[in-house]
Structure 1
Amino acid sequence: MKLIIRDAKIIDSKSPFHNKTVDILIVDGFIQIIGTSIPNLEQLEELKLDNLHVSQGWFDSSVSLGEPGYEDRETISNGLQVAAKSGFTAIALQPNSFPIIDNQSQVNFVKNKATGFATQLYPIGALTKESAGKDMAELYDMQKAGAIAFGDYNKSLSNANLLKIALQYVQDFDGLTIAFSQDENIKGNGVANEGIVSTRLGLKGIPNLAEELQIARNLFLLEYTGGKLHIPTVSTKKSVELIKEAKKNGLKVSCSVAVHHLVLTDEKLEEFDTRYKVSPPLRTETDRIALLKGLTEGTIDMITSDHNPIDIEHKKMEFDGAKSGTIGLESAFGALMTVLPLEIVIEKLTAGKETFGIEIQTINEGSSANLTLFNPEIESIFTKSSILSKSKNSAFLGIPIKGKVYGILNQQKLILA
């Protein structure tokens, strides 16, 4: 592939070309020249788009697809195309398929299915067999096969000793343990954030305490064992404070926040629309503001779409019985641009690579061409026609968004939305 990208403003704080509008010559997957008015002597393909901005390729640390087992929700093939057209050059695949990705052969299966796509897929192996929370899965074998971390998607480990052993065990190969944090006993039959809205609507509540108590426990375990712990999709003000204190004390803890927790609150539940049923639940405006502050001050390391396709049979039903989850790849950038400055959005959509051990490609001459292409200014409403996923369970339908993703350039492939 030989391509000249014209008049692109580079957004990459680690690049010497940060905030400069330049031309980029790409040859065989590498950035050969960055400069102004690069001559096109060989009649190469040129790409010129309105208000084009270019950043390092984005990485999403939590994506569910479905395959194997739930292909009606999403396939790996279509899911990777959705990710590419949404600006993501890499995704971490959650293990919540059927069967669960809890062994070497399952890791190999999803990796083989993802061969040849512009968006790279990095499997997360289940921490426990069948994500049942009883016996530790084959972590070392999965790591050898290519798993980048280990966790049970949206399942909290009630057995503290098992998490302790896992944190100790993975240190032998510098592994990363993921601990979704929600005390199931305190959550009980809760389906929405415990507060004024849930009380008014008569919905069983999930108090902030369910998350915070589990995070506190997991941080105590990390302090005891050492190693690295990632806490996904934090959702409360106190959770941010706990993690901030742990980092100050030198613990190797990272965390993410989901786009929907940065943009939406439990006020959205007024019409009992199950598109807004997510785990952890949408919280209050106080929590939302605290999450945004946690991002800007550096306590929260990365943003995830927490993309989770759910078929209509498990979503279009009464609120109590519906499955939790929203798709989020297609709407991630546009939704974030309504609440955060551009540079922070880009930083937090790329920072997860370092935590998950994925090579970082700064935009510079000689670097691999791993790029996301976008326009940060276009304003629109997110509609059903914007959804590329097989499942349509988006919490962002009808929401104003800002910015447009043009596509990605990665693996010597240019994918345009």
Structure 2
Amino acid sequence: MNLLIAGVTIADPNSQFNQQKCDLRIEQGKITDIDTQLGVLTAVNGDTVIDGSGLVLSPGFFDLNCSIGDPGFETKEDIYTATAAAAAGGFTGLAVLPHTKPVVHSKGEVAYIINKAKGNLVDVLPVGAVSQDLEGKELAELYDMQQAGAVAFSDGTKAITDDGFMSRALQYAKGINGLLMVYPENKSIAGKSQINESKNSVLLGMKGLPALAEEMHISRDIFLATYHDAPVHISNISTAGSVALIKKAKKDGVKITCDVAAHHLVFTEELLSDFDSNYKVKPPLRGKTDVKALISGLKDGTIDAISSQHRPHEIEFKDVEFEIASYGIIALQTVLPLLIKAGLDAGQIAEKLSINPRRLLNLTVPVIKTGAEANFAIYNPAAEWTYNADNNFSKSANTPLLNKKLTGKVTLVYNNKQLQSYG
């Protein structure tokens, strides 16, 4: 399908056309022409013409932290529903976590995901487990998984608690130019916590998870990364203290990167006052000071990327008492509206959601330029829409944003010579 996109604003810091209104022609999967003189490019026979007035065109979004449940937990989400939700949210690439059944801890599981996702508009890239069965005791088959197509290594939502094991894992990953993406939580401090430790947790009568648990774990990983001169990526940071630790470590030359989940840039612990389990996430929703620090950390470069932290669950895991509900929300379709609500502009969204996630994984970064393979999302930053059961493409519905009016809507995605549009 050939496209002519007229008068769209490009948001791509790597493009010479960044922040300019342009006409673009797409032919057989490639950007064949871009012109800032609107109206110079005209439609020819067979072109699909798209009016880009008021719309933003960005390199396709890429998610560093997505759970899909496939294999083994397909009742939560499978590859087909996850990619459908991803495309509707502007994502043309997903790094999927290994906490499935079986765990993605050998080349066989990596090959399964790659083969099942072949031919999709959305690129699905497996993240292999760091440890066998996510137990944090023995290294998984890191090299074999990397050779089979794993783009990084993580134990998903499980923190690596054994310091010696983490040290060995970093050393081994460095030897194969692999990246460890680790969840930061000191389990002995965290215990069986439910929400952020604060006056709010006392008021609600629930055990609080102190910021200390996250920050102690990050401090350990900073020491180990320094000792081995090895890269480490911290997933889903949530506190002001974490931002400060990582900012200093970067200044000191430590090879550390991090990301933040979109909902931690908007939601705060006050939303838990009516015990809505759809707001139960891990790390927990924090205070306003933390949210302010996270947004500041994004803007000053301390935080490298934004992730969805997509965690689908069946209704019986969420529509229960708060104390026994599972952690997590579905998020692929709501990342963009949350970032707009957080005050990020189109350039910052492209950098943190499209460019940096791919750079961290040493993947090809799509650029909006003549001759490039077409990989982009188009969205209307001002469009209001209601997220509901009819337009939710996920298999699950565990989100506090269902039936809420949101601002910022993806209208079209293009990748792998495939197009999907949304009214």
TM-score (norm 1): 0.97
1:408 equivalent in structure 2 = 413
**In structure 2, C-alpha distance between the alignment counterparts of 1:347 and 1:144, rounded to whole Å:** 28
Distance 1:61-1:313 versus aligned 2 partners, 3 A rule = same
Which structure 2 residues correspond to residues 248-267 of structure 1 after superposition, within 5 A? 248-267=251-270
Structure 2 runs not aligned, ≥5 long: none
| CA deviation string 1:66-106 (max 9, x = no partner) | 11111111110111111011100101001111111111000
Q: Separation in 2 of the partners of 1:373 and 1:256?
A: 23
Are 1:390 and 2:395 counterparts?
A: yes
Give the conservation status (yes or no) of the 8 Å contact 2:31–2:371: yes
Q: Is the 8 A contact 2:84 2:394 kept in 1?
A: no
Structure-to-structure mapping, 1:34-183, within 5 angstroms: 34-35=34-35, 36-37=38-39, 38-183=41-186
Classify 1:354/1:321 alpha carbon distance in 2 versus 1 (closer, same or farther; 3 Å). Answer: same
Give the letter for the 2:158 counterpart.
K
Report which stretch shifted further, 298-307 or 22-31: 22-31
Equivalent residue in structure 2 for 1:358, among 363, 368, 381: 363
| 1:278 is the counterpart of 2:285 | no
Q: Once the 2 structures are TM-superposed, how far is the Cα of residue 45 of structure 1 from its aligned partner?
A: 2.1
Counterpart of 2:12? 12
In 2, Cα distance between equivalents of 1:372 and 1:307:
19
The residue type paired with residue 245 of structure 2 is L
Asked whether the equivalents of residues 8 and 53 of structure 2 are also in contact (C-alpha less than 8 Å), the reply is no
Identify which range, 115-124 or 13-22, moves more after superposition: 13-22
Q: For 1:344, give the aligned amino acid.
A: Q
AA paired with 2:15?
A: S
Instruction: Give how far 1:395 is off.
Output: 3.0
In the alignment, structure 1 segments of 5+ residues that lack a partner are none
Return 63-72 or 380-389, whichever deviates more.
380-389
One-letter amino acid matched to 2:367: T
- The letter of the residue matching 1:408 is V
Give the secondary-structure state (helix, strand or coil) at the position aligned to 1:358: coil
2:312 maps to 1:309: yes
Which residue of 2 is the match for residue 31 of structure 1? Answer: 31
Contact 1:55 1:346 in 2 (8 A): yes
- 1:19 CA drift (Å): 1.4
Asked if 1:189 corresponds to 2:176, the answer is: no
The residue type paired with residue 11 of structure 1 is: A
1:300 aligned to which of 299, 303, 308: 303
Does residue 347 in structure 1 map to residue 341 in structure 2?
no
Match of 1:319 among 313, 317, 322: 322
Partner residue, 2:380? 375
Corresponding position of 2:3: 3
Match of 1:241 in 2: 244
Query: CA–CA distance in 2 between the matches of 1:192 and 1:257?
Result: 18
Give the deviation of 1:357 after TM superposition: 1.2
> Secondary structure in 1 aligned to 2:370?
coil
Contact persistence 1:371–1:409 (CA under 8 A): yes
User: Structure 1 CA distance, aligned partners of 2:62 and 2:106?
Assistant: 24
1:279-334 deviation digits (Å, cap 9, x = unpaired): 11101111111101110111000001100101111111111111101111111101
Alignment correspondent of 1:329: 332
Q: Which region of structure 1 is more displaced relative to structure 2, 333-342 or 257-266?
A: 333-342
CA distance in 2: counterparts of 1:341 and 1:381, whole angstroms? 21
Deviation of the 1:379 alpha carbon: 3.1
Structure 2 residue 228 is matched with structure 1 residue 221: no
Cα separation, 1, equivalents of 2:273 and 2:390: 25
Distance 1:99 1:12 in 2: 39
**CA positional deviation for 1:6:** 1.7
Q: What letter is aligned with 2:296?
A: K
In the TM superposition, residue 398 of structure 1 has moved relative to its aligned partner by: 5.4
Query: C-alpha separation between the residues in 1 aligned to 2:362 and 2:386?
Result: 35
Q: TM-score, normalised by structure 2?
A: 0.96
Residue deviations 1:256-288 (CA, integer Å, cap 9, x gap): 000111010111111111111111110111111
Whole-Å separation in 2 of the counterparts to 1:149 and 1:396: 30
Contact 1:268 1:276 in 2 (8 A): yes
- Paired residue secondary structure (1:401): strand
Quote the Cα distance in structure 2 between the aligned partners of 1:76 and 1:382: 21
Q: Which moved more, 1:261-270 or 1:42-51?
A: 42-51
Q: Deviations for 1:7-54, whole angstroms, at most 9, x for unmatched residues?
A: 211111111111111111111111111113212233422222552210
Q: How does 1:191-206 map to 2 (within 5 A)?
A: 191-206=194-209
Distance 1:120 1:102, change over 3 A: same
